Structure 1
Amino acid sequence: MQYGPSMPTFLVLLHRSGPQWDPSRPMQEQSDWATHASFMDELVDTGFVVLGGPLADEHRVVLVVVSESEDVVRATLGRDPWSETHLRVDSVEPWTIRLGPRPDDGRPAL
């Protein structure tokens, strides 16, 4: 990963559970889980999603994405089968990376 002007733009996204989220069931037992999981795996495979997963309360999910804008993030995640049903976008914030592995220090790149 290159740091500086050519570095990709990272955005941190916070999702909250939506109206069809059933708090009595684990994530993998929610309706349309397989379709949602497949969609998210595709976003990881294409490099759009870098990191992601639920917070401890399992009502909030954090994603780190690479995108040129919040509009692209919202449009992309709007195609998620869970969009507005099981998950709602709460916030999308640019993230300035100042600490982390660098290609020249021998540590693995993000």
Structure 2
Amino acid sequence: MATFLVILRRSGSRWDPRRPMEEQSDWVAHASFMDELVDTGFVVLGGPLADEHRVVLVVVAASEDEVRDTLGRDPWSETHLRVDRIEPWTIRLDGRRARRAR
């Protein structure tokens, strides 16, 4: 059964803190890969935190192994971004449902 997982990724050794995200090496390949994960429904939400050294993703996956396997194909995997934590997430509040019911 698929479940929601929250992933915290941190900048890796090839991340250049002097450059914005869109100017990092291999940006186009990484962005294309991530867009595909959104298109297939694997990534539900995602983006950098304010410090831009950490990224949060919410994904739908059957296991932590599936997450690691999928993100391992990212052109930025282990170079620009590395997985720091993967946590299961139980959603108890969803404001989208309340807005749809009105």
For normalisation by structure 2, the TM-score amounts to: 0.93
Structure 2: gaps (5+ residues): none
* Counterpart-to-counterpart distance in 2, 1:96 and 1:42: 25
SS of residue in 2 equivalent to 1:75 = helix
CA distance in 1, matches of 2:18, 2:29: 20
Alpha-carbon distance, 1:18 to partner: 0.1
Percent of pairs identical after alignment?
A: 79
Equivalent residue for 2:80, pick from 86, 92, 96: 86
CA separation in 1, counterparts of 2:43 and 2:62? 13
- Flag structure 1 segments of 5+ consecutive residues without an equivalent: 1-5
Q: In the alignment, which residue of structure 2 is the partner of 1:41?
A: 35
Quote the RMSD (CA, aligned, Å): 1.4
- Match for residue 77 of structure 1 among 59, 63, 71: 71
Rounded to whole Å, the distance in 1 between the matches of 2:26 and 2:51 is 21
List, as ranges, runs of 4+ consecutive aligned residues in structure 1 with deviation greater than 3 Å.
none
Partner of 2:6: 12
